[in-house]
Amino acid sequence: MKKILVFSFLLFSILGFSQSKKMIYSSEQQYVDEEKYPGATILLGNVKMMHEGAVLTCKQALYYQKQNFFKALQNVMIKQGDTITQTSDYLDYDANAKQALSWGNVVLKDPEMTLTTDTLQFDRLNQKLYYQSFATIKDQTNTLNSKNGNYYLETKKFTATTKVTVVNPEHNLVSNHLDYYTNSGIAYLYGPSTITNTQNENRIYCERGFYNTKTDISYFVKNAKLYLKERTVEGDSLYYDKRKGFASATNNIQVIDTVKNFVTRGNYAEIFEEKDSLFIIKKAVAISIVDKDSTFIHGDTLLVTGIPEKRIVRTYHNVKIFKSDLQGKCDSIHTDQQSGITKMFRDPVLWSDGNQITGDTIHLISNVATEKLDSLKVLNNAFIVSKDSLSVNEFNQIKGRNMFGKFKENKLHLLLVKGNAESVYYNRNEETNIIETITKEISSNIEFTLEKGQIETIKYLKTSEGKTYPPSKFPEEDKKLQGFIWRENEQPKTQEDIFKKDKDEKTPIKSDKDVIKPLLIIDPKKSKKEITTKNK
């Protein structure tokens, strides 16, 4: 049986389950229809409900007194205090559990953001909102979208999962799991995440870290990769200040030059985008690849500057070089990739095809087009030594003021000694390999051709003085030219040898654990421990 009560004035009903769960409601009309809505009071016209700081208004509602449950229909609005307003087409409210379920064009606003979705659960007890069918959150800086998410009203934090994007005019962030604070604009990333700069298409990839969307400062601690215009930076941890164009990376760093076939590695690096420079230490090594053969250059400090077309690579202190057919050592190296000239300074030495080459300064010149080794200059006190193939203490030697060499297929093929040229070489019988004679020559200039590291022909370009001896008659004091030194014990025989410290090196190569760490700028409401431990 239907009972209808019509009121010409506002009716208030107070229901007293308990003081803490008191609900107050009003409407222009109310009635019951036990056949259609058993146990419900039907409210029509300017419906208003108040419960523990929340005020709900709508056009129609059903109130189930026994369950203390309120179902609102049409133009639903709920306000909590002076800060939160939510509108929707429908809303179910459980006053006992303080749980609200809204659906149909849901829009929630607070001073920090606006949330829109189709369905939204509001846990008033824990002051938490959550959704499972996509939502969009807009604040002053960003627009966040995700399939699933929770919003904590007290801390202004979103935890968004599944198909998450955070977009602003300068960046586009894609992730599957992040925490985002609307008041600070900081996003904490958990799992594979990519940040793309929409202005220059620079990208950052990581699997754990944080990104401040307001300051453009980010810090990543797992599988971090920074994709710049001409470089890719990888490391265990990565700090990046986009506005300053500064990045620093720590541990297991690899910087790939995407224009030149060039890689640098180490355990601490700093990059300055505007100056187009890279500074790297802690087992720093530069790697260039030509015809599937890599050249490794290690030093205490490595500095790369300039645009790709005019790039300069400087390596300082305790420098060692390793290539399958060329090794070297010196105090410092300067490489101009535009000219193809590599200069070795302070006690340089090269080993090529069994030959040891020394001088005050050594220049290696590469063909810029092919990037292959083309020629060699040894300036002042030039000296080349090769151990006789079958002897222990016999050495073929050439010395002079300067030497100029040409490479053929990366092997020293032609050598011109200019100024005060001297040589000692052992002549073996081609069939028996027995030393037949030993020759010592002195001339202003001498030209040698070499085959497989051995002297093939000799040409004296000016009058020479020399003598050939049988082995038993060769003066002992002439066996080694003045300035002779054999440095085989310093030669890096493998790629790993470039990191070994020689006895004469004063600067130690520090361990991987001794690392400079960048300043971690972090939101005070979020601990660093939470970044590194969550979702392990």
Residue 72 pairs in a beta bridge with: 61, 91
* 466-476 pLDDT tens trace: 888 888 888 88
Query: CA-to-CA distance for 175 and 208, rounded, in angstroms?
Result: 11
List of long-range contacts for 469-472, beta carbons under 8 Å, 24+ apart: 469/437, 469/438, 469/439, 469/440, 470/436, 470/437, 470/438, 471/435, 471/436, 471/437, 471/438
State the pLDDT at residue 21.
57
**Of the ranges 107-116, 213-222, 343-352, 518-527, which one carries the lowest mean pLDDT score?**
518-527
Query: CA-to-CA distance for 371 and 373, rounded, in angstroms?
Result: 7
Statement: residue 71 has pLDDT above 90 = yes
Domain positions in the chain? 1-109, 348-484
Q: What is the dihedral of CA 405, 406, 407, 408, to 10 degrees?
A: -140
**Kind of pairing between the strands at 237-241 and 246-257:** antiparallel
State the pLDDT at residue 3.
39
Q: DSSP states of 76-97 as a string?
A: EEEEETTTEEEEEEEEEEETTT
Query: CA-to-CA distance for 66 and 19, rounded, in angstroms?
Result: 16
* 512-533 pLDDT tens trace: 333 333 333 334 344 444 444 4
| Cβ neighbours of 404 (radius 10 Å) | 17
State the pLDDT at residue 412.
83
Using alpha carbons only, what angle is made at residue 281 by residues 279 and 285, rounded to the nearest 5 degrees? 95
* 118-139 pLDDT tens trace: 999 999 889 999 999 899 999 8
State the pLDDT at residue 248.
93
What Å distances lie between residue 391 and 3, 19, 467, CA to CA? 121, 106, 21
State the pLDDT at residue 260.
74
**Kind of pairing between the strands at 186-197 and 246-257:** unpaired
* 204-235 pLDDT tens trace: 999 999 999 889 899 999 989 999 888 899 99
What residues have CB less than 8 Å from 507, skipping those under 6 apart? Answer: 300, 317, 318
State the pLDDT at residue 453.
66
Q: DSSP states of 366-434 as a string?
A: E-TTT--EEEEEEEEEEEEEEE-TT-SS-EEEEEEEEEEEEEETTEEEEEEEEEEEEEEEEEE-TTT--
Domains 1-109 and 348-484 share a fold: yes
Mean pLDDT of the chain: 84
**Of the ranges 297-306, 382-391, 520-529, which one carries the lowest mean pLDDT score?**
520-529
Statement: residue 143 has pLDDT above 90 = yes
Statement: residue 442 has pLDDT above 80 = yes
* 235-272 pLDDT tens trace: 999 999 988 989 999 999 999 887 777 899 999 999 99
CATH 2.60.40 fits 348-484, yes or no: no
Nearest to 387 by CA among 476, 321, 485: 485
**CATH fold label, 1-109:** lipopolysaccharide transport protein A fold (2.60.450)
Nearest to 464 by CA among 426, 421, 425, 424: 421
pLDDT band for position 505 (cuts 50, 70, 90): low
Query: CA-to-CA distance for 14 and 526, rounded, in angstroms?
Result: 43
Query: CA-to-CA distance for 116 and 8, rounded, in angstroms?
Result: 37
Residues of the chain above pLDDT 70, percent: 88
Across residues 299-320, what is the average pLDDT? 90
What is the radius of gyration, based on Cα positions, of the chain? 39
State the pLDDT at residue 450.
79
Q: Indicate the pTM of the whole model.
A: 0.75
State the pLDDT at residue 477.
86
